[in-house]
Amino acid sequence: MSTPDRRVRRTRETLHRALIELMMERAYDRIGVSDVIARADIGRSTFYAHYRDKDDLLVVSCGEHLRQEIARSSDRGRWAPVRVMIGLAARFPQVYEPLIGPKASVTALRGYRSSVAAILREHLDEQSGPGADDLTVTTLSWALVGLLTAVTDRTNPVAPELAWRRFEAICRAGSSQIEGG
């Protein structure tokens, strides 16, 4: 995966930060592209040079942010990205709600799940031993999205450590299928 040049990274980070700041202030469905570009102090054409719409900004920038957080983590184990994702979801449920919450758009939900699958695939391919097949990665990514939904639930959130232990137990129980394909 190639790294975009410094100006592109800076523009994307500015747009991502603007969207997250706005999401801390009000509901995602009450934020428009015009709000994001005003907060970021970036022109409309610049926004559309990088993203199709605000859902695309949300999904792509969250995926990029996840990769950065995973890279910063000292954990290099087989399921390290999962632990990072659970921790982020627990710390920032208001950011995850428009991605995976009950009012998430289909575009955002599928886009985020796709990002999670790509991150899992990349990480598992880097690990020693056999990788996981596409169906397994798809299954795990949807399961993880469901688990993150439970962690970010407003009325009855699942504790991050419990979520991690449950995911780890399920993976251990099914590891022969995961590693054997």
Residue 65: per-residue pLDDT: 86
Torsion of CA 81, 115, 21, 151, to 10 degrees: -50
- The phi, psi pair for 146, rounded to 5°, reads -60, -40
Rounded distance between C-alpha atoms, residue 13 and residue 113, angstroms: 21
pLDDT single digits (tens) 134-145: 998 999 999 999
CA dihedral sign, ordered 47, 49, 53, 57: negative
**What per-residue string of b and e applies to 139-167 under the rule 16 or more CB within 10 Å gives b?**
bbbeebbebbbbbbeeeebbebeebbeeb
Closest CA to 179 of 116, 136, 117, 122: 136
- pTM reported for the whole predicted model: 0.79
pLDDT single digits (tens) 58-88: 888 888 888 999 999 998 888 889 999 999 9
Site of tokens 């523009």: 11
Q: Return the beta strands (E) in 42-123 as ranges.
A: none
Residue 77: per-residue pLDDT: 84
- Domains, the chain, ranges and CATH? 6-180 (1.10.357.10)
Point out the residues of the chain with pLDDT beneath 50.
1, 178-181
- Rg of the chain over Cα atoms, rounded to whole angstroms, equals 17
115 contacts 63 by C-beta, under 8 angstroms: yes
Residue 42: per-residue pLDDT: 96
